[in-house]
Structures are given as C-alpha cells and as structure tokens.
Amino acid sequence: MPFQPCLMFMTNILIPLALLVTVSANSLSQTDLQKEKETLKQVDIDFSNQSKEKGMREAFLAYAADNAVLLRPHSYPIEGLEEIKKFLGDENPPFTLTWTPEFADVSVSGELGYTYGIYELTDKDENGNEIAHKGTYLSVWKKDKKGNWKWILDTGNPGLEPKN
C-alpha cells in the first residue's frame, strides 16, 4: 500500500490548503477591506454632493441599481428603477437633500456594503425663510458588473432631535 501515505498527505494537508487558498482568493485583505470601506463612504459623499448640485432626483437615479428599493414613511416599498422614477416625478423637488455618512462597512467579498448617517432636508417656509429638517438614513450598496457601487436599498427616518 505505497499510495496510502500519499493519500493521507493529500487528504490531511493539500485539500484543506487548497480550500484555504480558494477562500482567501475570494475575500479582501484587511488593508483592501479598509480601503473599500473608505471608497464606499466617498461614493456616498459624492452621491450627496450630486444631490446638492444637480438635485435629488438626478442623484438618486444616477446612483441607483436597476433593482433598487426605496423605503419611505407611509408607503409600500418602491421597487425597481422605473417605479422609483415615477415616485420621484419628472423634476427635482423644491427642497435640497444632502447627507453625511457617519459609517460604512463592506462585506469580506467587497461586493456588498452599507452606509448610514445624518441627512438634512432644506426647504423654505411660507415667508421664504430656509428651514432645515434632519433625520437618519441607511443605504445598502452593491457593486454592479463594472465594479461601481450602486445603492440597492435606501431608507430614512425623519425627526432627528438636535444633539445636546
């Protein structure tokens, strides 16, 4: 039985080693993972900047995945890019929506992530004075086929109390 030690070597050493290499090849290193978290946070900042500069509607449509879902208060989930377009209407709303991500995390594979933070909706009252409303938000992101981050789920909670 000269092949038995060889078979034991393959079973006990090579197969687990091959599995480890395969798993490692599909996950990011700690350095790459931290870099990807920072990249995702910057994408969310760029998304907010576009909302401020070109309007909420344009920004939300530019960064949305085809299968994106909006969760809004008092509404069923708004599913898919076409339904989101209908929900947002044909023009930008008369208010400005911006946000600041406070945290970003990315899966070990680097293909799925989320951000959350504080949003600010700036509008004008009946006298033309600016008023700001703050709340919290959560966006779930997924990389598209080209490797670009696109949001796949977005939700927010209005009525944030000021920090003391």
Distance between the two ends of the chain, CA-based, in angstroms? Answer: 77
> Has residue 150 been placed in a domain?
yes
The span from the CA of 32 to the CA of 44, in Å, is: 18
Q: What is the pLDDT of residues 10-50, one digit of tens each?
A: 445 545 544 444 444 456 788 899 999 999 999 999 999 99
Is the overall model pTM greater than 0.85, yes or no?
Answer: no
* Tokens standing for residue 84: 């989101």
> Has residue 163 been placed in a domain?
no
Q: What is the pLDDT of residues 67-101, one digit of tens each?
A: 999 999 899 999 999 999 999 999 988 899 999 99
**Total domain count for the chain?**
1
Residue 65 is part of a domain; what is its CATH number? 3.10.450.50
pLDDT of residue 18: 46
Q: What are phi and psi of 157, to 5 degrees?
A: -125, 120
pLDDT of residue 15: 53
* Structural domain boundaries, residue 133: 29-158
* Tokens standing for residue 55: 């309007």
Among 25-34, 103-112, 115-124, name the one with the lowest average pLDDT: 25-34
Which runs of consecutive H residues, i.e. helices, occur in 55-141?
A: 56-63, 81-88
> Has residue 92 been placed in a domain?
yes
